Amino acid sequence: MVRHRLQTLRELRSKQTVVVVTSAEAVLRPTLSPQWVGSWLAELAPGTEIAPELLARLLLEAGYRQESIVTSPGEFARRGGIFDCYPLDNRPWRAEWDGNRLSGLWRLDAETQGSRAKLASVSLMPAREFPLDQASLAQAGERLLGWDLSGLREDVRQRWQADLEVIQAGGLPDPVDSLGPLLADPGQTLLSHLPQDTIFITEAWPRLERAALA
């Protein structure tokens, strides 16, 4: 589901007419802000100047996990000047660097770990719906600091406070997905990404209102 939501955000940034069929709950679910998506989405092609270290940091901030080899969506691996990435669109790719210059792109076979057809370019997309860069984590920590924890069980409250301390220190709780939805800005939803001239057609407007007020 996350893959489809992120692909929808990417499509909404295109100049094409987009039709989105969704539910009230999905419309109001917190997601990445338009500003964050716009600053992160990019295209890589042979000749692109970007340090492999910078690309690795960007992928980590976008929710990817660094592994020794890539076997599942949301992973990347780096071995010297070879960089493998397995995006959520299930089309893994391999890149080779010459210094800070991307010199080649290939489709990657995740089963054999072998390079296949050459690629002219690849589009980067996040792996999660919440940002993991330092600035976003700091904002999330400030936002969560004021939450009332008095109604939680003692063990849950202690775990929450421990995770919050990790976030405020610039780290990530383990597993990060346990707090993932809470790291997203609740004010950023699918509605934040829609053009001003968007036409809405709904069969359940009262349900949408109830979901918005919940």
pLDDT at 213: 65
* d(C-alpha 155, C-alpha 162), whole Å: 11
Q: Which CATH architecture has domain 43-123?
A: 2-Layer Sandwich (3.30)
pLDDT at 106: 96
CA dihedral 102, 107, 110, 111 (to 10 degrees): -130
Q: Which helix (H) or strand (E) holds 199?
A: none
pLDDT at 136: 82
pLDDT at 187: 86
pLDDT tens for each residue of 195-204: 888 988 887 6
Query: Which two three-digit tokens encode residue 24?
Result: 């009230």
Closest to 132 (Cα-Cα) out of 160, 173, 92, 162: 173
Within 10 angstroms of residue 183's Cβ, the number of other Cβ atoms is: 24
Query: Domain extents for the chain?
Result: 1-39+186-200, 43-123, 131-183
pLDDT at 212: 63
* d(C-alpha 95, C-alpha 105), whole Å: 5
pLDDT at 53: 92
Model's pTM, two decimal places?
0.77
Instruction: Profile the chain (214 residues) by mean pLDDT over runs of 10 residues.
Output: 86 86 86 87 90 92 92 93 90 94 95 91 88 81 79 85 79 70 83 90 73 64
